[in-house]
Amino acid sequence: MKRRILLSVVVLLLSAFNYASSQDLQLNDLEYFETQGVNVLVYNNLFTGGFNDEKNAGIEMIHHGVRTSQGGAVRLSNTPEQWDLVPEILNRKVDRASKTIEATLRYKEYDFDSRVVVTPKGKGLEIAVYLDKPLPKALEGAAGFNLEFLPSQYWSKAYLMDGRYNRFPRYVVGNTVTRPNSEKPKQFKGFNTSDDRGTGKFIDPLPLETGRTILLAPDEPERLVKITSQDADLMLFDGRVLAQNGWFVVRSLLPAGKTGKVLTWTVEPNAIKGWTREPNIGFSQVGYLPAQPKVAVIELDKKDKPLAKASLYKVGNDGNVSEVFSGKIAPWGNYFKYHYVKFDFSSVKAPGIYYIQYGNVKTDNFLIENNVYDKITDATSDIWIPIHMNHMFVNEAYRVWHGEPFKEGYLQAPPNSDHFDLHDQGPTTDTKYKALELIPGLNVGGFFDAGDFDIETGSNINVVQNFVHTWEYFKPLRDQTFVSQQQRYVDLHRPDGTPDVLQFIEHGTLNLVAQAEILGHMTQTLSNAVLDNYHHLGDAASITDGLPYNPNLGPYEVAPDGRSSGVKDDMWAFTSRNPNLDLRAATMLAAASRALKGYNDDLSARALQQSKRLLKEATELLANQPQDTSRRAWGAAADVSTNLQLYISTGEQQYANKFQELLWPALDRNVNFVLLTALNAIPHMDAAYKEKLRPYVVKYNDYIKGLDKDNPYGVPIGLGNWAGNGAITNFGTTVCFANQYFPDIIDASHAYKVTSWLFGCHPYHNYSFVATVGATRPKATFYGNNRADFSFIPGNVAPGVLFRKPDHFENYDDWPFLWGQNEGTIAGNTSYLIFGSAFKNLLK
């Protein structure tokens, strides 16, 4: 029996590795290891000091086009969570002579350094860990080398540990133990990290398997990886035990009391012989107008020889398919990792159902029709936005999206408090309230920021401004949502006689005016005090118990009158004053006051009063404090917009004069950043103003032309840690308004590039980035508050394709937990609402 099992394992291994390419991994010019089908990045992307472990850093493997593993580093726990300590990378050395990449990792909290050296070894790599000093006592049994693998690419596939068969679980099923908190190494930065419900213990996952050789996915050659450890056991963990965004972790502990080369792994990713990435045909999932430009961008493996032609097929009313157009492929060139060609089928104008065929690859179907863009913003305005209304019970038919959150209100954040979402309370409260004192009246209005349940004040300011612009320029009368501030109740798909956008303006303004009136200025954020509450996935109303904290009660005790409790789960208001934020609020409140006039006159008057006060005080504060260049530019741009909005609201010439005084220098500094504000002023200024703006529009058109040379899609693609759809939608909005006022300079065709990008013509895949908006394949998973269900909220707009240095774009559609590519935000989605409205107006 043992011989039979051994023989079957040998046969399986031989058959799996028969796929392997004859090419060894090579150190390329971009300083990572490569063979066709496999890229191994070694600290090209570093851990951050903000959210620590974003699953985007360390030693990363891009395996047959998909980044399937990451995080390779010395870590201090079996399955690190997002806010666990990460190593600082002190240096990264590339030695071309020895073909090695080396990095020094430091945990300053323990005065602990290690060196990781990666060297090609045949079809794989040797990863070695060196210590110049023995492990600190506090890290014995805790420090180990981890490499993490993407669950969605491995679940339900087989693995072998020392020849023992098993299968990666689709849903987390691992075993755990509980240990005293005193046994856990210090992992966090010092903020209030968790509520252990008084147990004083933490959960520690146990390994699924232990051995010296693990073979991942021998039944799937594209994902097959072999790892061998010479010095210590390999342990396989399921990180989803502790957090839904956890990955499968292969880990070996570092030995105590040793120095030098203390751990050696051999990692052999399989490379399928002759593999090339399947062409990605970028096209608009929504479809095309008969008369608009229609250009598909085809993304090719650089080793894939471009074909001469592509074809367009039409699906007849009888179900039969016929080729209606065949056109030449136009080369564009290389852009980062891939080669790009274009297929122009603009000449096809007949309405119908179509798909594109390029070689053996065909797209999903799409429409050519006059109404394809009519509903592109409906899901966002009807569903996503009202679901994100805070302090309201939100209902949809038989479903409750969330109950009324945070009935107990908000406590004053204590001075010198660090928050886990990049906020902090300074040395004073900047308010009349004492630390942890209840601030009455803030639990009204406002919108959840994104995939979490805080009110990010800066985002909410943008949101109300976006709603006001949408209302003033396009007057959308769409009414599909019931909103009652008195009942604190929202019901989707139930008209109530009032345009939804007007009710959204009111809801956002209620919270921001409350902040200005009660605190005297804007908060940084209204957010969770406890990390366990912050990463809560579920009904927002269940984050807290709805009762104000009473320090006179014991833990989890409820007062006899039922009006307070001893649970420290209340939300905090972070109130350190930022005059730049106040200036932006002044802009928004001035605009909101106009929109609300005649609908909620009391709120309108209060908003205008606070706008004038905040403008005056913020201007004085900014004049008396030094600022860095970036803040000064941002503040100047906000000041330009504030004076414009106040002029439109009041008609007072002083604001118009100040607006123009500030505008032209701001345009000289950065025309891209300020042009949209300048265009928004045209209806309120004289003809001379428009003519003076003309040269700046010409300059902007030169920028647009440069985009066609920069990348094959002709839009501003972001290369930061947050994908660039926000910048692209803002670009599209600017193009729409510039074309409206200067059609002789800015061509409307550039706006179609933005819709094509958003709805499928982009790198990595061709799914629509807007949930439920697209023909047959919009994105299916997003980083929303229902991400644990691998689901989406209709109308959500993903950030887009995320750039991973030095040359990789990605957007996971089977793994929602990377916010930089999958988390729609309230500011971003309302920017999309403006763009969609401006684009539909352009079509008229």
Structural domain includes residue 276: no
At 32-54, the pLDDT tens digits run 999 999 999 999 999 986 788 99
> Residue by residue, what is the 3-state secondary structure of 465-528?
HHHHHHHHHHCCCCCCEEEECCCCEEEECCCCCCCHHHHHHHHHHHHHHHHHHHHCCCCCEEEC
pLDDT digits (tens, 9 = 90+) for 307-361: 999 999 999 999 999 999 999 999 999 999 999 999 999 999 999 999 999 999 9
Helices (H), 70-200: 151-154
Sign for the CA dihedral angle at 808, 813, 815, 818 comes to positive
- Count of Cβ atoms closer than 10 Å to residue 291 Cβ: 11
Range of the domain at 70: 2-269
**Residues 363-418: tens digit of each pLDDT:** 999 999 999 999 999 999 999 999 999 999 999 999 999 999 999 999 999 999 98
State how many domains the chain has: 1
Is 588 contained in some domain? no
Least-confidence region, from 63-72, 188-197, 239-248: 188-197
Query: How many CB atoms within 10 Å of residue 26?
Result: 11
Q: Give the Cα separation of 528 and 508 in Å (integer).
A: 19
Spatial contact of 690 and 741, defined as CB atoms under 8 Å apart: yes
pLDDT of residue 591: 96
CA distance 524 to 520: 13
Domain assignment present for residue 589? The answer is no
Sign of CA dihedral 715, 716, 717, 721: negative
pLDDT above 90 (res 625): no
DSSP 380: I
Q: Which residues of 723-732 are buried (b: 16+ CB within 10 A; e: fewer)?
A: bbbbbbbbbb
Return the structure tokens found at 674.
């300020």
CATH of the domain at 186: 2.70.98
Closest CA to 593 of 689, 468, 701, 690: 468
Nearest-angstrom CA–CA distance, 148 and 251: 9
Q: How far apart are CA 675 and CA 205, in angstroms?
A: 54
Cβ-based neighbours of 201, under 8 Å, separated by 6 or more: 178, 179, 180, 181
Other beta carbons within 10 angstroms of residue 259's beta carbon come to 12
Average pLDDT value for residue range 751-773: 98
CA distances from 533 to 150, 241, 423, 441, 786 (A): 25, 17, 16, 22, 15
Q: E strand or H helix at 229, and its extent?
A: strand 225-229
Residue 22 domain flag: yes
pLDDT of residue 4: 45
Distance CA 216, CA 250 (A): 10
For residue 306, is the peptide bond before it cis, meaning its omega torsion is within 30 degrees of 0? no
Output phi, psi for 756, to 5 deg.
-60, -45
DSSP letter assigned to residue 711? -
Return mean pLDDT, the chain. 93
Tokens of 258: 């040793």
pLDDT at 190 over 80: no
- Please give the distance of CA 211 from its chain centroid, rounded to a whole number: 37
What does the pLDDT read at residue 629?
52
pLDDT (tens digit per residue) in 78-107: 999 988 999 999 999 999 999 999 999 999
- Kindly state whether residue 118 falls inside one of the protein's structural domains: yes
Statement: residue 513 has pLDDT above 60: yes
Nearest to 200 by CA among 233, 178, 172, 173: 178
- Give me the mean pLDDT over the 243-257 stretch: 97
Q: Would you give the DSSP letter of residue 138? A: G
- CA–CA gap between residue 654 and residue 629 (Å, rounded): 27
| 183, 418, 652, 814: the active-site residue | 814
Residue linked to tokens 């394949």: 777
694 within some domain: no
Each residue's pLDDT tens digit, 732-750: 999 999 999 999 999 999 9
pLDDT in tens, 654-676: 999 999 999 999 999 999 999 99
Q: For residue 344, report the phi and psi dihedrals to the nearest 5 degrees.
A: -100, 120
Q: How many CB atoms lie within 10 A of CB 371?
A: 10
What is the pLDDT at residue 12?
A: 47
DSSP letters, 48-91, are -SSSS--S--SEEEEETTEEEEEEEEEESSSS--TTS---EEEE
* Cβ neighbour number for residue 127 with a 10 Å cutoff: 23
Number of H helices and number of E strands within the chain? Answer: 17, 41
Query: What does the pLDDT read at residue 425?
Result: 95
Nearest to 345 by CA among 292, 266, 279: 292
Give the pLDDT band of residue 628 (cuts 50, 70, 90). Answer: low
Q: What is the pLDDT of residues 407-436, one digit of tens each?
A: 999 999 999 998 888 889 999 999 999 999
Residue 84 lies in a domain: yes
814 in catalytic set: yes
Q: Name the residue with higher pLDDT: 721 or 217.
A: 217
In whole angstroms, what is the distance from residue 37 CA to residue 29 CA?
A: 17
What is the SS3 assignment for 623-655? Answer: HCCCCCHHHHHHHHHHHHHHHHHHHHHHCCHHH
Q: What percent of the chain has pLDDT over 90?
A: 87
Residues 6+ apart with CB under 8 A from 565: 545, 547, 548, 549, 550, 553, 556, 557, 558, 559
479 is catalytic: no
Let me know if residue 358 belongs to a domain: no
Would the pLDDT of 186 be above 80? no
Q: Which residue in 396, 500, 569, 823 is the catalytic one? A: 823
pLDDT in tens, 153-166: 999 999 999 999 99
pLDDT at 17 (0 to 100): 46
d(Cα 357, Cα 310) in Å, to the nearest integer? 6
Provide the CA 599 distance to its chain's centre, in angstroms. 35
8 A C-beta contact, residue 199 and residue 180: no
CB 603 within 8 A of CB 506: yes
Res. 771: pLDDT tops 50: yes
- 61-71: average pLDDT: 98
- pLDDT at residue number 626: 72
The predicted model gives 806-812 an average pLDDT of 98
Polymer length in residues for the chain: 844
- Residue-wise pLDDT for 270-282, tens only, equals 999 999 999 999 9
